[in-house]
Amino acid sequence: MKISPLFVALCTVAFAATSSAQPPAGPFPLAAKAGMDSHADKTAPPGAVNQGPFNMKTWKFGPAFDAPANTPIWNPVKLKMMRGEKITSVTVMGNADPEVYCAAANSGVDFVWTEMQHSAGTWDSVQKMWNRCPHAKAVPGVRVPTANQIDLQHALDLGAVVLIIPTVHDVAEAREAVRWSYHPPMGGRSQGNMTQAYAKVPGGYRGTFNKNVVVIAMIETLDGLRDADKIAALPGIDAVFAASGDLSNFTGYKQGDPDYERAINMVHDAAMRAGKYLCGPWFWQNRADFKCFQGHGGDKLTAPGPGLQAAFIEAEKKEFGALWNKPGQVTGGPWVPKMK
């Protein structure tokens, strides 16, 4: 029987995911005695930090994944945000041809907004896109369908370092986004088998990811406006996005109408009060205090072929002008500027 290369690859990944983090086998001096109740729920082994009955609310987290002191940021988008610089993106549908994605990722923006809320894409199609050019200039970002464990886990395990959470209706939904976007102790993200692109990031991926991921909450609805201050202030939310189209959809007013502008200003004010980044569409670059922008210059560039890369570069340069092609200058990881 002939075994397919894909089957072998999948088995290899599965084995690595279950075995790579395992310590050497035995001996196990602190293990429960065979056939005996150790009463571990009530009594800790000698030397344990957490003594007394088990209590998840008071659990003191261990140092197993602490990064070395002064480990540099390796996500150029996060680095630019820490410096107060403006960031740009280009939108690519989640079922785009990998060649289209790679052209977008090398077009001079900071991250690719991979669209999974309004597209027919699957996580398999996203994996094919991101794997085609893992060392592109722009980092992989994605707008997930909702703030849920399945989609966020898929996005992160495939390599996303920018997460856009749509239609965040209230602070409870924002908490779910944070919960599944971060590893413990900040969140509840499970540890999966990561892409090799992050194998040598400074300080190690698991220990540094929480400081490198960017989480953007989109405020698009009336209930989102009601909770805008709480959403923006939530630890783990790096930015709020004033959704130009859906705030019109959910309010019934268009840009320039006083009621519409009031809604945008409410998101603006929430970001300012919380000291968080304020995001919007590319054509709001001159609106006060907006610092991150979603571009659409490549919307019509959907077919691979000669001239695609040049067309994407021209489109993003036209949209972003002085903001175009200004990557964050990280010193380690896959986005270190390549020597010419």
278: confidence class by pLDDT, cuts 50, 70, 90: very high
**pLDDT, position 22:** 61
Closest CA to 118 of 153, 156, 164: 164
Express each pLDDT in 15-39 by its tens digit.
Answer: 444 444 566 677 889 999 999 999 9
**Higher-scoring residue by pLDDT: 23, 316:** 316
Cβ atoms of residues 259 and 253 within 8 Å: yes
CA distance 319 to 279: 15
Tell whether the model's pLDDT for residue 288 goes beyond 60: yes
Express each pLDDT in 138-178 by its tens digit.
Answer: 999 999 999 999 999 999 999 999 999 999 999 999 999 99
55: confidence class by pLDDT, cuts 50, 70, 90: very high
Tell whether the model's pLDDT for residue 7 goes beyond 50: no
Would strands 87-93 and 162-165 be described as parallel, antiparallel, or unpaired?
unpaired
Hey, what amino acid is at 166?
P
End-to-end Cα, the chain, rounded Å:
48
**pLDDT, position 4:** 45
Q: Classify domain 87-321 at the CATH superfamily level.
A: Phosphoenolpyruvate-binding domains (3.20.20.60)
CA distance 268 to 278: 7
What's the Cα-to-Cα distance from 70 to each of 67, 179, 203, 209, rounded to whole Å?
8, 26, 9, 14
**Higher-scoring residue by pLDDT: 315, 22:** 315
* pTM to 2 decimal places: 0.91
What is the chain's mean pLDDT, rounded? 92
